[in-house]
Structure 1
């Protein structure tokens, strides 16, 4: 077994007890009443100045709620999840080394407050750290580099098509998708396709061990904890990815809730509120809808 793979396996063996402890000792309750839950979601969405798409699924019962869930929305940084998938396919196939060192070139610097952009020209970084920056910190400089390493947007889109994702596409730096980029930005997707992607991470059926487990660990430690993640108590494990551009706020999660694991994706577009404070209408909506879904079942069925 290659030494890099051994290090990954050993790290996961130490981490697995912690992973399972997050789920132990929490008595499961009946699944939520989705009729009541949908009504609460619709009541909260009513009056929002913008378009809102929601997809929710209770993973044990299979019950789901769809509100504009198959409609196209901008991904913003949610596109980093399919970038990760295409990248992990190359890593699991041995085409890229998870612990391999890469050389940063200052020409890669992307405008903003990215951590990687503070590197000096010629500094080294491992692919593992590059992925951490992309997913945990949503570092755009790192993400564009990962997109290139995955084979460019064209290859990522081929991966999406071959895995049944008909509406999720990378637009930025991808030949033939300039008009889509003008309309949707870096990428485009639907709330339902994003929940399906996050569910596939949770189900660990993408690339085999130890790579699926490694993806779970990466998705379970986001720096961006102020929206959906803020409503969950620390003992509840939540896998997540966040996104935001001027007129859109978005987040996708799988939460290992006491009422059973559920997936949730909320994406907005055409928001009238383009501010960037915590009271932005889109950010508040993300928190409120996550809280409604987290409380469902507990309030429906009692303690």
Structure 2
């Protein structure tokens, strides 16, 4: 992945991140693991108080369920689990995540609230991403420039296991490896991915102002297919 840019559109804007913000949360977790500040094998007991709605499976899990930090991170990516995400934000620290984003060169991508915090949204505190910055973060993972190579490979494996295939993967070959994280809000649909063709490439697409979610998903799928056909 040589860093060549093939197409850009509105790259100066920041958009509500939805769950794509979970990429830098995952990266920050692995940085902490690398520094031995977090043990990925540590067991966490789920409480009802920390359950969050929206996406994921942990909101329906029984109180007291035991999960390792690694399993919680896997669920944050696989089913975009909001309960898992909020547990990890507390473990890592929101300030640490934003400090890492600054260290990694991101100026527009920021974590300003936990998942499903309706009051924070009403107050104007939203999470934001920028397409170029998310691409840069994914390239850091691919190039093994965050945490260490073993942890970068683990992040890629988690991202390959993302269950939502209605966007970038939707029109691509089923056997094509795609490490990605999707995001969904009523007002934005996004996906950011490393696509493992013979010339691996990263892409981030965010659609705003759509009438139906399916319309946004088709646009993302169409654009991904165009990119794949040009770079396969």
Q: Does the CA contact (< 8 Å) of 2:108 and 2:128 recur in 1? A: yes
In the alignment, structure 2 segments of 5+ residues that lack a partner are: none
Matched, 1:146 2:88: yes
Provide TM-score, normalisation by structure 2.
Answer: 0.91
Partner of 1:106: 48
Closer, same or farther: CA 190–227 of 1 in aligned 2, 3 Å:
same
The CA deviation at 1:292 is 0.9
Partner of 1:123: 65
Q: Does the CA contact (< 8 Å) of 2:113 and 2:125 recur in 1? A: no
Q: Which of residues 7, 25, 30 in structure 2 aligns to 1:83?
A: 25
Partner of 1:17: none
Closer, same or farther: CA 173–110 of 1 in aligned 2, 3 Å:
closer
Q: Distance in 2 between matches of 1:241 and 1:211?
A: 17
In the alignment, structure 1 segments of 5+ residues that lack a partner are: 1-58, 299-303
Matches within 5 A, 1:1-303: 59-60=1-2, 62-112=4-54, 114-151=56-93, 153-173=94-114, 182-183=123-124, 185=126, 187-258=127-198, 260-269=199-208, 271-273=209-211, 275-276=212-213, 280-297=214-231
The CA deviation at 1:234 is 3.3
Q: In structure 1, the residue corresponding to 2:149 is in which secondary structure?
A: coil
Closer, same or farther: CA 119–283 of 1 in aligned 2, 3 Å:
same
Provide TM-score, normalisation by structure 1.
Answer: 0.71
Q: Report the aligned-residue RMSD.
A: 2.1
Larger radius of gyration: 1
Q: Distance in 2 between matches of 1:297 and 1:71?
A: 26
Q: Does the CA contact (< 8 Å) of 1:172 and 1:181 recur in 2? A: no
Moved over 6 A (4+): 178-181
Q: Does the CA contact (< 8 Å) of 2:159 and 2:180 recur in 1? A: yes
Q: In structure 1, the residue corresponding to 2:169 is in which secondary structure?
A: helix
Q: Distance in 1 between matches of 2:231 and 2:91?
A: 43
The CA deviation at 1:184 is 6.6
The CA deviation at 1:295 is 1.2
Closer, same or farther: CA 113–220 of 1 in aligned 2, 3 Å:
closer
Aligned residues: 229
Q: Distance in 2 between matches of 1:240 and 1:297?
A: 17
Q: Distance in 1 between matches of 2:3 and 2:41?
A: 39
Q: Distance in 2 between matches of 1:181 and 1:208?
A: 39
